[in-house]
């Protein structure tokens, strides 16, 4: 079984995340959406809300599991018997950042990272942009699944 971990903070989950996950299912038998916990980071949505949003979005998918974790992503991958990390790339800046992480992960635990390039129609969407739109009273509904509400 090919199992991948799709890690992130998902604060909130966006249409970009959903696109990468659904396309990832063409490559992997199972995807674990891994919500990372960082005690030093201030989130807009609680961990429970983020998990609920993702679970509601993928409630009809038997091959998608949602879990939370702290610590190194590669350690979580090994605990879950996942051979791959799935990541989405929106632009060249994402690639430069993700490449260094992927190379480090391979060195630490021999985990292979698979990159999928974002759909151009939604490559502008990021969680930080969505949070900014929410904070300023804008309409964010086209950038997130229905499960994300305030």
Given the residues 9, 41, 67, 70, the one annotated as active site: 41
- Asked if 50 is an active-site residue, the reply is no
Nearest to 12 by CA among 124, 150, 148: 148
- Side-by-side strand order, sheet with 30-36: 64-69, 30-36, 3-8, 84-89, 112-117
Catalytic residue among 50, 51, 53, 127: 127
Catalytic member of 17, 50, 53, 87: 17
Give the long-range contacts of residues 16-21, CB within 8 A, separation 24 or more: 16/88, 16/90, 16/118, 16/119, 16/122, 16/123, 16/125, 16/126, 17/88, 18/57, 18/145, 19/88, 19/118, 19/119, 19/122, 20/86, 20/87, 20/88, 20/116, 20/118, 21/58, 21/64, 21/86
* Annotation marks residue 17 as catalytic: yes
Catalytic residue among 51, 87, 90, 118: 90
Residues classed as catalytic? 17, 41, 90, 127
């Amino acid at each position: 079984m090919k199992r991948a971990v799709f890690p992130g903070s998902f604060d909130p989950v966006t249409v970009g995340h959903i696109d990468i996950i659904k396309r990832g299912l063409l490559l992997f038998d199972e995807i674990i959406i891994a919500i990372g916990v960082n005690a030093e980071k201030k989130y807009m949505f609680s961990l429970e809300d983020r998990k609920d949003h993702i679970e509601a979005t993928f409630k009809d998918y038997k091959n998608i599991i949602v879990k939370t974790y702290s610590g190194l992503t590669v350690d979580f991958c090994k605990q879950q018997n996942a051979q791959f990390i799935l990541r989405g790339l929106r632009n060249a800046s994402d690639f430069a950042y993700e490449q260094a992480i992927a190379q480090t992960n391979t060195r630490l635990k021999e985990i292979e990272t698979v990159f999928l390039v974002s759909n151009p129609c939604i490559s502008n969407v990021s969680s930080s942009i969505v949070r900014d739109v929410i904070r300023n009273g804008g309409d964010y509904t086209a950038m997130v699944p229905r499960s994300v509400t305030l």
